[in-house]
Amino acid sequence: MNLSEVQIRSSALTHNAKVLRQLCKPGTQFAAVVKGNAYGHGVSDLVQHLHPLVDAFQVDDIEELRIVRSLTDHPILVLGYVRAADVSEAIHLGGELAVYDTERLGAISQAAKQVGIRAKVHLKVDALLGRQGLLPKDIPAFIDALKPHAGIEITSVYAHFANIEDTTDLGHAQRQLEAFDDAVAALSGAGLQGTHRHISATSGLMTVEQGNHMVRVGLGIYGMYPSASLSRTHSDLELRPVMRWVSHLAQVKVLPARHPVGYGLTYITPREMRIGIVPQGYADGYDRGLSSSGEVLVRGVRCSVLGRVAMNMFAIDLSAVPEAKPEDEVVLLGDQGDDLITAEEIALRLGTINYEVTTRVSPLLPRRIV
């Protein structure tokens, strides 16, 4: 048993992948998004476990492509930017590249020639997102620029929703769907027929997905909902949190009254107090914003963080757990006894989203499948 570790609940992972897959029309390719170290869960373990449950993987960069390719022969789409110097390696590894401007075509075409295989490319259209992507007005110029590049095969066209998780108003999503349909029509009108299309991430799959060729699912697989409203409307899926982040008490002691706790003297004991030292800190991904606001579980009891979270440790109030002793398990995220610390709860305290909470957990902490 490690002093501190991230436990991956394999039964939860299997359950989530299965129920989300069941939301898809038959024949839809189900791609697992494992960028960001599989949202902090640990990309190697996750890919090995998910391989039999999904059809494809999606990563952000060449480094993730290398890791995932060493573990699976599924198709892998690289969503982010790959430097011109790395494109031939990406193609050699069988990576499918996102393309979103005409400038990229030259580099991809040259690399494909070098490697001697046709490069599979997914064209990213900026359908009212305003991020990475080809603006619809630039589609005709793109088609013209594509003509000399026989080594490039546009296998898919895709877009991404901008506003369906933080709102119950799907108006913008509908306008995006229309813009996406128009873009796909413009492409097929210009000779790019039969290309596949995909637009939905977890939230799209739960709301507007009509049956495209593929869905790109991240958050839901890890057992989290994209918003509070989707967790209510889709509670029947019973998505189960996959991550459990644990440590063990490194010291238990009694501080006298009016004693400071930690850097900056931000907490002064109001009375004699039993405290515990948790050997995790912001270096491990336990956000400093949880200073004097976070809670952890010891023996199934909620204990408050006292004072500042330091780089590798923080103090907690053990007043409610008099029997606590050194090396007792501390749960920073996940369940213990009858209680549960969720990523959503931590995100609310920090003014962020559940995505960021798990993704920030240090990749250096050991991961263990349980």
Active site residues: 35, 263
Candidate list 187, 217, 252, 357; residue touching ligand PLP; CB under 6 A: 217
Which residues, at least 6 apart from 365, have a Cβ–Cβ distance to it below 8 Å? Answer: 4, 5, 6, 245, 284, 285
Candidate list 216, 248, 308, 360; residue touching ligand PLP; CB under 6 A: 216
**How far apart are CB 51 and ligand PLP at their closest, in Å?**
18
CA atoms of 358 and 245, how far apart (whole Å): 9
CA atoms of 202 and 359, how far apart (whole Å): 16
Both tokens of 275, joined, read 């405290």
Size, binding site for ligand PLP by CB under 6 A: 13
Closest CB to ligand PLP among residues 40, 334: 40
Residue 49 lies near ligand PLP (rule: CB under 6 A) = no
**How far apart are CB 13 and ligand PLP at their closest, in Å?**
14
**How far apart are CB 176 and ligand PLP at their closest, in Å?**
13
Site for ligand PLP in 154-193 (CB under 6 A): 160
Judged by CB under 6 A, which stretch of 105-113, 171-179, 215-223, 229-237 contacts ligand PLP?
Answer: 215-223
CB 28 within 8 A of CB 214: yes
CA atoms of 336 and 59, how far apart (whole Å): 32
Residue 202 lies near ligand PLP (rule: CB under 6 A) = yes
Candidate list 47, 78, 79, 108; residue touching ligand PLP; CB under 6 A: 79
Task: Give the H/E segment covering residue 251.
Answer: strand 251-255
Judged by CB under 6 A, which stretch of 48-56, 199-207, 236-244, 290-298 contacts ligand PLP?
Answer: 199-207
CA atoms of 5 and 60, how far apart (whole Å): 25
Residue 364 CB neighbour total at 10 angstroms: 8
Binding pattern for the stretch 91-110 against ligand PLP, x by CB under 6 A and - elsewhere: --------------------
**How far apart are CB 201 and ligand PLP at their closest, in Å?**
3
Point out the residue whose Cβ comes nearest to ligand PLP. 218
3-class secondary-structure state, position 114: helix
What is the CB-side half-sphere exposure of residue 46 using CA atoms within 13 A? 33
Judged by CB under 6 A, which stretch of 136-144, 149-157, 219-227, 290-298 contacts ligand PLP?
Answer: 219-227
Closest CB to ligand PLP among residues 59, 365: 59
Identify the CA nearest to 286 among candidates 228, 365, 217: 365
Closest CB to ligand PLP among residues 76, 306: 76
CB 319 within 8 A of CB 273: yes
**How far apart are CB 309 and ligand PLP at their closest, in Å?**
27
Which residues, at least 6 apart from 201, have a Cβ–Cβ distance to it below 8 Å? Answer: 33, 160, 161, 215, 216, 217, 218, 219, 226
CA atoms of 366 and 259, how far apart (whole Å): 35
Closest CB to ligand PLP among residues 130, 322: 130
Which residues form the interface with ligand PLP (CB under 6 A)?
A: 33, 35, 79, 160, 201-203, 216-220, 226
